[in-house]
Chain A
Amino acid sequence: MITMENVCKSYRIAKRNAGFKEACKSLFHREYEEIHALKDVSFTINDGEMVGYIGPNGAGKSSTIKILSGILTPDGGRCYVDGRVPWKDRIRHVSEIGVVFGQRSQLWWDVPVIDSFELLKDIYSIPHRVYQSNLDELTELLGLGELLRSPARQLSLGQRMRCEIAASLLHSPRILFLDEPTIGLDAVSKLAVREFIRGQNEKHGTTVILTTHDMQDIEALTKRIILIGKGQILLDGTLEDIKKGDGNIDETVAELYRTYEI
């Protein structure tokens, strides 16, 4: 179970106007702006739930994921994942979760993908049998096959992304955080990844938290959605709650953003 209670996080950002004069001025005097990435964020997610976490750019989605995965310490509030405080108990916590950051890469650039996987096997101390069966399953479902033998640098974005997702699941995590996992995927891969995530949830009862701008992902995968804007939770409900009539999902969400002025 995941609980977040009144979690806050703010960043200090140096700002200035355009131009050379301004750049010189900022040498001596810097203006900072306090950005509240998260303000009083609270929610509870039960085991085995699949939740879509949506919001416009800069709403605080990634900050939430970072806090939940233990790599960012919030300024205030409480957060427990299966009874653990992620950032205090980092090493124990991260062995139970899987994370995909769609923007970043965890594969070793110059060696075949399978070498990165073998490394993860040792890092997470995955028993050989479990590793082999997970790998076989992932290879089949995500169509990895020959990709595993090529160096990560020579894969296309979509191919790499499928490997990244596989890498995050090798240790059969109980909770999965997906931060924009379908970036750059072609239609076939997208469907495969969705199918796969749904399967993980059904078969293993994996809790999934998904942030994305692709509303079809949300539609295909999650029943519950949490809407965040300007660092605050604005809505926590089902997809049906926000859908009015049979409008296009993208339009519905855009309409939603407009009503909340975010």
Chain B
Amino acid sequence: MRKYLSFFRLRFSMGLQYRTAALAGITTQFFWGAMEIMVFKAFYEAEPESFPMTFEATVSYIWLQQAFLAFFAAWMIENEIFDAIMDGNIAYELCRPIGIYHMWFSRSLANRLSRALLRCFPILLIAAMLPAPYGLHGPQSMLRLLVSLLTMALGLLVTVAFCMLIYSLTFFTVSPKGLQILFTSAVEFLSGGVIPLPFFPERIQRIMELLPFASMQNVPLRIYGGSMWGREAVNAVCLQCIWLVVLIAGGSSLCRYAEKKVTIQGG
């Protein structure tokens, strides 16, 4: 365990040193969030009743999404792992007395955590200070806040576990680009990264909510915002746990299989 913690620590401290990137990220996320809210505002003004979420819930969904973008954005996948697979530096990683899957898992987790930690506070702070319908409202209850945090942690783990699948598949291809584009856009769309899932037609939505993608950002952002609670929330948490187990089991066996098959070329 100590090995993985140490891995986590190094990746984490490495992530903390990119200060300019964090500043640029904060600015981008802030403007992106503001723009999205303005677009939604225009729609809501036309016909507020026809929307599945209240405007306040949508706004807090967007702000939380922007603040914790690094937790859930599939495109923030770790390129260094792809590089290691592509250029063969993975030869060294295979020479370590440590499981590849666990090592990369702790590394990706640390990467996302460090990025989010640098970026989330300024965005949350500014969003909370904005005037009423446009700002991030406080938690509706203590319980709701705690459940949001729990599901956020689960959602982060599901996202990392899903990215691990992509890394493992990269072993079998010459270039990771194709897989990366395919999967990251699928995740972005199906997880509610573009628009929240309740905005999809009901039938499609019912299927989408069962997919692993809905177990990422969809759950915590909606629970905090208020558009998901009660029985629905309990089901969502169970589904998150199930997907987490399935994805980890699938990813780690795929990774073990790849380890045996891998050929380090050149050198």
List chain A positions with a Cβ less than 8 A from chain B. Answer: 11, 62, 66, 69-73, 87, 90-92, 94-95, 97, 99, 101, 103-106, 108, 110-111, 115-116, 118-119, 121-125, 179
A95 B97 Cβ-Cβ under 8 A: yes
Q: Which 9 residue pairs are nearest across A and B when measured between Cβ atoms?
A: A122-B6, A95-B97, A106-B92, A71-B94, A103-B267, A91-B97, A99-B95, A119-B10, A104-B89
For A62, give the chain B residue with the smallest CB separation: B267
Q: List residues of chain A with CB within 8 A of the CB of B20.
A: none
B: interface residue count bin: 20 to 34
Q: Which of A71, A108, A125 counts the most chain B CB atoms within 10 A?
A: A71
A87 B260 Cβ-Cβ under 8 A: yes
List CB contacts (< 8 Å) of B118-169 with chain A: none
Complex Cα gap A66–B90 (Å): 12
Select B94's contact among A90, A116, A118, beta carbons within 8 Å.
A90
B7 A119 Cβ-Cβ under 8 A: yes
A104 B88 Cβ-Cβ under 8 A: yes
Q: List residues of chain B with CB within 8 A of the CB of A66.
A: 91, 264
Complex Cα gap A122–B262 (Å): 26
Q: List residues of chain B with CB within 8 A of the CB of A95.
A: 97
B91 A118 Cβ-Cβ under 8 A: no
Complex Cα gap A66–B91 (Å): 8
The answer, yes or no, to whether B198 is at the interface (CB within 8 Å) is no
The answer, yes or no, to whether B263 is at the interface (CB within 8 Å) is yes
How near does chain A come to B81, taking the closest CB pair, in angstroms? 13
Q: List residues of chain B with CB within 8 A of the CB of A91.
A: 97-99
A111-B10 in contact given A66-B91, A91-B98, A125-B2 (Cβ < 8 Å): yes
How near does chain A come to B230, taking the closest CB pair, in angstroms? 45
The answer, yes or no, to whether B205 is at the interface (CB within 8 Å) is no
Complex Cα gap A260–B263 (Å): 29
List CB contacts (< 8 Å) of B86-120 with chain A: 87-89, 91-92, 94-99
A94-B91 in contact given A108-B14, A110-B14, A125-B2 (Cβ < 8 Å): no
Complex Cα gap A108–B81 (Å): 12
List CB contacts (< 8 Å) of B220-267 with chain A: 259-264, 266-267
Complex Cα gap A70–B259 (Å): 10
A179 B267 Cβ-Cβ under 8 A: yes
1/0 contact string of B8-47 vs chain A (CB within 8 Å): 0010011001000000000000000000000000000000
B14 A111 Cβ-Cβ under 8 A: yes
Complex Cα gap A71–B262 (Å): 8
How near does chain B come to A154, taking the closest CB pair, in angstroms? 14
B260 A73 Cβ-Cβ under 8 A: yes
Q: List residues of chain B with CB within 8 A of the CB of A104.
A: 87-89, 91-92, 267
Complex Cα gap A253–B114 (Å): 53
A123-B6 in contact given A66-B264, A71-B91 (Cβ < 8 Å): yes
Q: List residues of chain A with CB within 8 A of the CB of B264.
A: 66, 71-72
How near does chain A come to B89, taking the closest CB pair, in angstroms? 5
